[in-house]
Amino acid sequence: QKEVEQDPGPLSVPEGAIVSLNCTYSNSAFQYFMWYRQYSRKGPELLMYTYSSGNKEDGRFTAQVDKSSKYISLFIRDSQPSDSATYLCAMIFPSGGSYIPTFGRGTSLIVHP
Protein backbone atom coordinates (compact mmCIF):
# COMPACT_ATOMS: atom_id res chain seq x y z
CA GLN A 1 0.00 0.00 0.00
CA LYS A 2 1.34 3.38 -1.05
CA GLU A 3 1.88 5.73 1.86
CA VAL A 4 0.02 8.62 0.22
CA GLU A 5 -3.15 7.99 -1.76
CA GLN A 6 -4.57 10.52 -4.19
CA ASP A 7 -7.34 9.96 -6.73
CA PRO A 8 -5.91 10.71 -10.20
CA GLY A 9 -9.26 11.99 -11.55
CA PRO A 10 -9.84 13.75 -13.84
CA LEU A 11 -12.12 16.00 -11.83
CA SER A 12 -14.22 18.21 -14.11
CA VAL A 13 -16.10 21.22 -12.70
CA PRO A 14 -17.77 24.33 -14.09
CA GLU A 15 -16.18 27.72 -13.67
CA GLY A 16 -17.03 29.27 -10.31
CA ALA A 17 -17.42 25.96 -8.49
CA ILE A 18 -15.77 25.11 -5.20
CA VAL A 19 -13.22 22.36 -5.76
CA SER A 20 -12.18 19.85 -3.13
CA LEU A 21 -8.98 17.86 -3.66
CA ASN A 22 -7.99 15.19 -1.16
CA CYS A 23 -5.19 12.91 -0.04
CA THR A 24 -5.09 10.20 2.58
CA TYR A 25 -1.98 8.85 4.22
CA SER A 26 -1.02 5.92 6.37
CA ASN A 27 2.10 7.09 8.20
CA SER A 28 1.13 9.01 11.33
CA ALA A 29 4.70 10.36 11.58
CA PHE A 30 4.15 12.79 8.69
CA GLN A 31 4.57 16.31 10.04
CA TYR A 32 4.69 18.65 7.03
CA PHE A 33 2.02 18.80 4.37
CA MET A 34 2.28 20.54 1.02
CA TRP A 35 0.17 21.15 -2.07
CA TYR A 36 1.64 21.78 -5.51
CA ARG A 37 0.08 22.77 -8.82
CA GLN A 38 1.59 21.42 -12.02
CA TYR A 39 0.65 22.64 -15.46
CA SER A 40 1.27 20.39 -18.45
CA ARG A 41 4.94 20.23 -19.45
CA LYS A 42 5.95 22.40 -16.48
CA GLY A 43 7.49 21.84 -13.07
CA PRO A 44 5.37 21.78 -9.92
CA GLU A 45 4.66 25.05 -8.16
CA LEU A 46 4.35 25.15 -4.38
CA LEU A 47 0.90 26.48 -3.44
CA MET A 48 0.72 25.93 0.30
CA TYR A 49 2.33 24.10 3.14
CA THR A 50 1.39 23.52 6.74
CA TYR A 51 2.58 21.49 9.68
CA SER A 52 -0.42 21.52 11.97
CA SER A 53 -3.95 20.29 11.97
CA GLY A 54 -6.61 22.79 11.00
CA ASN A 55 -7.07 25.22 8.15
CA LYS A 56 -4.70 27.56 6.36
CA GLU A 57 -6.02 30.07 3.87
CA ASP A 58 -4.28 31.92 1.04
CA GLY A 59 -6.54 33.83 -1.32
CA ARG A 60 -8.88 31.39 -3.05
CA PHE A 61 -7.02 28.39 -1.63
CA THR A 62 -7.57 26.70 1.72
CA ALA A 63 -5.49 23.79 2.95
CA GLN A 64 -6.98 21.56 5.61
CA VAL A 65 -5.20 18.90 7.66
CA ASP A 66 -6.90 16.32 9.85
CA LYS A 67 -4.17 14.30 11.51
CA SER A 68 -6.59 12.16 13.49
CA SER A 69 -8.15 10.91 10.23
CA LYS A 70 -4.87 11.06 8.26
CA TYR A 71 -6.57 13.19 5.64
CA ILE A 72 -5.64 16.44 3.94
CA SER A 73 -7.64 18.60 1.57
CA LEU A 74 -7.17 21.57 -0.72
CA PHE A 75 -10.20 23.72 -1.43
CA ILE A 76 -10.32 26.13 -4.35
CA ARG A 77 -13.05 28.76 -4.27
CA ASP A 78 -14.43 30.46 -7.36
CA SER A 79 -12.51 28.11 -9.62
CA GLN A 80 -11.23 29.48 -12.93
CA PRO A 81 -10.24 27.79 -16.20
CA SER A 82 -6.66 28.84 -15.36
CA ASP A 83 -6.85 26.51 -12.34
CA SER A 84 -6.94 23.55 -14.74
CA ALA A 85 -3.83 21.59 -13.83
CA THR A 86 -2.64 18.57 -11.88
CA TYR A 87 -2.55 19.05 -8.11
CA LEU A 88 0.00 17.12 -6.08
CA CYS A 89 -0.03 16.58 -2.36
CA ALA A 90 3.21 15.83 -0.53
CA MET A 91 4.19 15.01 3.02
CA ILE A 92 7.38 14.85 5.02
CA PHE A 93 8.42 13.22 8.22
CA PRO A 94 11.85 13.90 9.65
CA SER A 95 13.86 10.70 9.95
CA GLY A 96 17.41 10.65 11.27
CA GLY A 97 18.10 14.15 10.02
CA SER A 98 16.70 13.39 6.56
CA TYR A 99 13.60 15.00 5.13
CA ILE A 100 12.40 12.97 2.19
CA PRO A 101 9.04 14.10 0.80
CA THR A 102 6.46 11.51 -0.24
CA PHE A 103 4.25 12.70 -3.08
CA GLY A 104 0.81 11.58 -4.14
CA ARG A 105 0.22 10.68 -7.80
CA GLY A 106 -1.65 13.91 -8.44
CA THR A 107 -5.27 14.78 -9.30
CA SER A 108 -6.05 16.23 -12.71
CA LEU A 109 -8.48 19.15 -12.46
CA ILE A 110 -10.41 20.56 -15.41
CA VAL A 111 -12.37 23.77 -14.95
CA HIS A 112 -14.59 24.41 -17.97
CA PRO A 113 -16.05 27.82 -18.83
Partner 1 sequence: NAGVTQTPKFQVLKTGQSMTLQCAQDMNHEYMSWYRQDPGMGLRLIHYSVGAGITDQGEVPNGYNVSRSTTEDFPLRLLSAAPSQTSVYFCASSSQGGGKPQHFGDGTRLSIL
* Interacting residue ranges for partner 1, rule: CB under 8 A: 4, 6, 8, 32, 34, 41-46, 49, 88, 90, 92, 94, 98-106
Closest distance to partner 1 from the beta carbon of 17 (Å): 26
State the CB neighbour count (10 A cutoff) for residue 43. 7
Q: Which is nearer to partner 1, 15 or 45 (CB)?
A: 45
Task: State the sign of the Cα–Cα–Cα–Cα dihedral 82, 48, 55, 6.
Answer: positive
- DSSP for 48-97, written as a single string: EEESSSEEEEETTEEEEEETTTTEEEEEESS--GGG-EEEEEEEE-EETT
Q: Which is nearer to partner 1, 83 or 106 (CB)?
A: 106
Which has the closest alpha carbon to 21: 8, 40, 33, 2? 8
Q: Which is nearer to partner 1, 17 or 49 (CB)?
A: 49
Closest distance to partner 1 from the beta carbon of 91 (Å): 10
Closest distance to partner 1 from the beta carbon of 89 (Å): 9
Closest distance to partner 1 from the beta carbon of 50 (Å): 11
